[in-house]
Amino acid sequence: MNYPIEAIFKTVYDCTKEFKKNLANQKLLVIYEENKETKLCEIFFPASAFYHLTGLKAFDNKGNMYKAFNFYNDMLNGSINARNLKKKDKTTDLKIEVLPQLMKLDRNAKMTGLFFSSRISLETDQLVGGEKACMGFVVNEKYECYIPNTLLKEDIRQISINRGNIIAILKKKVFDKNYRNITYIKKEYELENIFKKEETFKEIDFKNIYSLDKVISNKINTYKAKP
């Protein structure tokens, strides 16, 4: 698909708002199972990361290339228009196609694994996503966790190793001490299996755990009501 730059601008503008709402300056704690072992993966979404996910080059009205943080802010406040944007390379259209669904990664990610592919030349470490698209992450020493650096319109099963199914995702603001908000839990997974690991998951505030998702919230209330 060869998207016109005007259509790309509209998608990116809408996704900037979704990124702010769902991911910007937030951390995710991804709980997954790999070979029957429960593991954790922590992810941070700095606001500046959004620019790298678009596959675009952006220039101000003087022709200077945008810095990542300024791009995010100026998209939000309407200072950028389609004339400021250019496709970076042949992967831009593919990234734009999957960008909207990956702005809800905190709720729709199903698998995670280490990036491995002989046909794709790419510098990224951990993948999170599903069968139709995934987001790539690299380790950031400053934040001591993963941060996003790319999007792929790929089945994660075809480009990863050491892969595991995600059983739950929790979210918090970057400066919060613990995780309390559950945004996703695998359908057939029992919530009590997470609570049983309270001594293991020191990052979670189990006493004040909640969810904005009605189904998950009902599960939490049902579990807490047990004698």
65-91 pLDDT, tens per residue? 999 999 999 999 999 999 999 999 999
State pLDDT tens for residues 160-191.
999 999 999 999 999 999 999 999 999 878 78
Rounded Cα gap, residues 24 and 19, in angstroms: 6
Length of the chain: 227
134-172 exposure pattern, b = at least 16 Cβ within 10 A, e = fewer? bbbbeebeeeebbbbbbbbbbebeebbeebbebbbbbbb
**pLDDT (0 to 100) of residue 188:** 79
CA distance 159 to 129: 11
Question: Residues of the chain with pLDDT > 70: what percent?
Answer: 100
- How confident is the model over 139-164, as a mean pLDDT? 94
- The half-sphere exposure of 74 on its side-chain side, counting CA atoms within 13 A, is 19
Rounded-to-integer distance, Cα 224 and Cα 227, Å: 8
Q: What's this model's pTM, rounded to 2 decimal places?
A: 0.93
Average of per-residue pLDDT across 95-120: 94
Encoded tokens for 61: 């009205």
The per-residue pLDDT for range 22-74, each reduced to its tens digit, is 999 999 999 999 988 889 999 999 999 999 999 999 999 889 999 999 999 99
| Sequence-ordered list of residues with C-beta below 8 angstroms from that of 29, at least 6 positions apart, any chain | 40, 41, 42, 169, 170, 171, 172, 179, 203, 204
**Cα four-point dihedral sign 151, 109, 195, 26:** positive
Distance in angstroms (rounded) separating the CA atoms of residues 61 and 79 = 10
Amino acid 142: pLDDT = 86
Token code pair at residue 226 = 């047990």
Long-range pairs for 198-204: beta carbons < 8 A, 24 or more residues apart: 200/38, 201/31, 201/40, 203/29, 203/40, 203/42, 203/178, 203/179, 204/29, 204/170, 204/178, 204/179, 204/180
